[in-house]
Amino acid sequence: MVMDRIFSGIQPTGTPHLGNYLGAIQNWVNLQEQCSSVLYSIMDMHSLTMPKEPAALRQNILDTTAAILACGIDPKKCFLFRQSLVPEHAELAWILGCLTNVPRLLRLPQWKMKDASQNNEGTVGLLTYPVLQAADILLYKSTHVPVGEDQVLHLELAQDIAQHFNKKYGEFFPVPKAILSTTKKIKSLRDPTVKMSKSDPQKLATVNIADSPDEIVLKFRKAVTDFTSEVTYDPASRPGVSNLVSIHAAVTGLSIKEVLHQSTGLDTAHYKMVVAESVIQKFAPIRNEIKKLQEDKSHLIKVLEDGAEKAKELAAPIYQEIRRLVGFQ
């Protein structure tokens, strides 16, 4: 696959969890080695679609930055920046919003789910943030976007918006292609029918990459499985133990088949501790690096500001041409 430019982003929710790492950040680290033009953004503007305290948001931005740096993201190999430091994101979102119809946004599952969670009083920002996502991608003429299953529809919207713009103003934007994660979606440890989430009210449901070994052991010990003691992989009928197998495979780099072979003869209670130990070993150096980086706030701020300057330099000529095309100049 020829990848001219990759763009992806992460919302600043603080230290990422196991699902964020395996589903996105681990892939980011690999992609920065494979492509010469890679942009990764801390999506602070998107985070305002759900209520946030300003002080908490500021801290979350720094904690998320520390975590992804600790995971192996290298600012020398990519542009790592804070979305709101590049105002062209919001300006392009307005232009693209004027090419997007409301019924299309209302049909998106994320809107329906999050609007319902806010007693059907979802904000304009919540409704239109997929248009801002399209602007995030198209502002840099990105050709490829790493996405999880739950973001495929949003990327399809960005593709349609790019094609609509090109039809109206002439060929300008490349239509971005998806890079789908090969990692199985990581599920909640307390309810393996839903994905692992930072906002899960059950604290034992989500493993954060900065959790202590004792916390990780406790969460896996309490992980919901079933009454069959054998370790097998069957997500439809045994979602709990299958989720453990997926996690074990992802953190060790082994295949599902190899993990199952290694686990022959183990019951699920013992297997939980095997998975916990694999996660502890994977995250021990990352957790130590996070702590070190969090102690140097000025370094984290500088990384994001330097990345934003580079992103602005890339975006400026593209956005000036957009302004010309739509008639602003």
The catalytic residue positions are: 114, 195, 198
> How far is it, in rounded angstroms, from Cα 327 to Cα 329?
5
DSSP secondary structure code for residue 120 in this structure:
T
Buried b (16+ CB within 10 A) or exposed e, 134-163: bbbbbbbbbbbbbbbeebeebbebbbebbe
For residue 146, give the amino acid letter: P
Give the other-Cβ count within 10 Å of 232's Cβ: 13
**Please, are residues 98 and 322 in contact by the beta-carbon 8 Å criterion?**
no
For residue 299, what is the DSSP state?
H
| 89 in Cβ contact with 139 (< 8 Å) | yes
CA distances 56 to 48, 175, 210, 242, 291, Å, are 12, 36, 18, 35, 18
Q: Considering only CA atoms, which of 16, 13, 125 is closest in space to residue 67?
A: 16
Residue at token pair 């399809």 = 156
For residues 189 and 17, give the distance between their C-alpha atoms in angstroms, rounded to a whole number.
12
- Token pair, residue 269, equals 């209670």
How many Cα atoms within 13 Å fall on the side-chain side of residue 286?
A: 29
> For the purposes of burial, counting CB atoms within 10 Å of the CB of 172, is it exposed (0-12), middle (13-18) or buried (19 or more)?
middle
